[in-house]
Amino acid sequence: MKILIVNLVLVFTITQAHTAPIPKPPNPNVKSYVLMDYDSGMIIASKNPELVLPPASITKIMTSYIAFLELDNDTLSMNDVVTVSKKAWKTGGSKMFIEVGKKIKVSDLLQGIITSSGNDASVALSEHISGDEETFSIYMNQVAANMGLKNTNYVNSTGLPNDKLYTSAEDIAVLSRNLIRDFPKMYKLYSRTEYVFNDIKQYSRNKLLYVDDSVDGIKTGFTKKAGYCLVSSAKRGNRRLIAVVMGAKSPDQRTTVSKSLLEYGFRFYETHKIYEIEDIVTKARIFDGEKREIELGVSESAYISIPRRSIKKIKSRFVVDENLTAPIQKGENVGYISVELADKVITKINLYTREDVKLGSAYRRTLDSILKNF
């Protein structure tokens, strides 16, 4: 496939007399971390982002995602009653203290999973959704594959230690972004710091919820092998960031590192919307069609996250299939936008056709077959 590259330089008049430098991102003594901008999905800072690690209770983000998916599809209800199995009741680790044989509402189980990280609740809900935890794990891996998680494998709904259970900080950030984007109303459950079940008040282990009003989630995790982990998200104004910290030495360290990452991202980076979904971003030559050009655009509003006060230095290149040939349908991916800063590609945004173009007349096709050779 030949491609046509069109350079587009966003030209501005620079009036700033001084531009403060951007410091390097934090380099904490943890195994891995990722700081992601929510709107663009771009990674602002990272350390070993693809390192495969045990996720501990971070696993429950996927458990709740699947529950939200079932609720959204009306195949599960918050008022559904779940009978607690012996397996769920006996599951070790953190608990919400449900008892074997008792009937518990899905709404209570979900809050037990999210706030108190109940392993018993995770097993009970997974059994209710899929019949058994093993089948639920297959479901988890199918969803992970659909999200494009590259370094993740699930074998249980809890995060309890297993050599075949693993993920990466980058995958967790992608999962968390999907959770917030796909289920914004249900995501609010993650902002609760406490709840009462069976006359027992239980508290979230995410200390950032208590010290930073902009933080509204997401999940802690700990096993001896995984260390202390924390996935956090904060929204300030119109911006949201996601921080994933894995393999910290203590609960305080995971909190301190997560807060420093969020502060770094909010202070030194900016998020800009560069294309709207309805924009005609560019046009491309099309052969053998009833018209000579086709309109191209993006599939959703496109954002970039860049160092502060650097928007005037952004350049864009359109990379488009040079041999676009009719017939072609609306919504086909025919190229991408390469967004560059300081001669480095910072992100690529797919370009899609915005219209159908039918096959042209015999005369048009004959003329274009000649032009193709030149």
Report d(CA 338, CA 345) in Å as an integer.
6
Strand order across the 239-248 sheet: 43-47, 32-37, 239-248, 227-236, 215-223
Active site residue 60: yes
Look up residue 61 and give its two tokens.
Answer: 């983000």
CB 373 within 8 A of CB 287: no
157 is catalytic: no
Give the integer Cα–Cα distance in Å for 348 and 351: 10
Contact 151, 171 (CB under 8 A): yes
Active site residue 258: no
Residue 177 · residue 37 · CB < 8 Å: no
Instruction: Please pick, among 47, 60, 219, 259, the residue that the annotation labels catalytic.
Output: 60
Report how far residue 372's alpha carbon sits from residue 326's, in angstroms, rounded to the nearest whole number: 13
Read off the DSSP letter of residue 313: G
Please report, for residues 2, 66, 212, 257, the alpha-carbon distance to residue 334 in angstroms, rounded to integers and kept in the order given: 11, 33, 44, 41
Enter the tokens of residue 96. 């919400």
- The residue annotated as part of the active site, out of 32, 40, 46, 57, is 57
Whole-angstrom distance, CA of residue 243 vs CA of residue 33: 7
Strands (E), the chain: 3-9, 32-37, 43-47, 81-83, 103-105, 194-197, 200-203, 215-223, 227-236, 239-248, 269-275, 282-285, 293-297, 302-307, 314-321, 333-341, 344-353
Of the listed 117, 122, 305, 316, which one is catalytic?
A: 117
CA 104, CA 288: separation in Å to the nearest integer?
A: 63
d(CA 341, CA 344): 5
Query: Residue 287, SS3?
Result: strand
Q: List residues with catalytic annotation.
A: 57, 60, 117
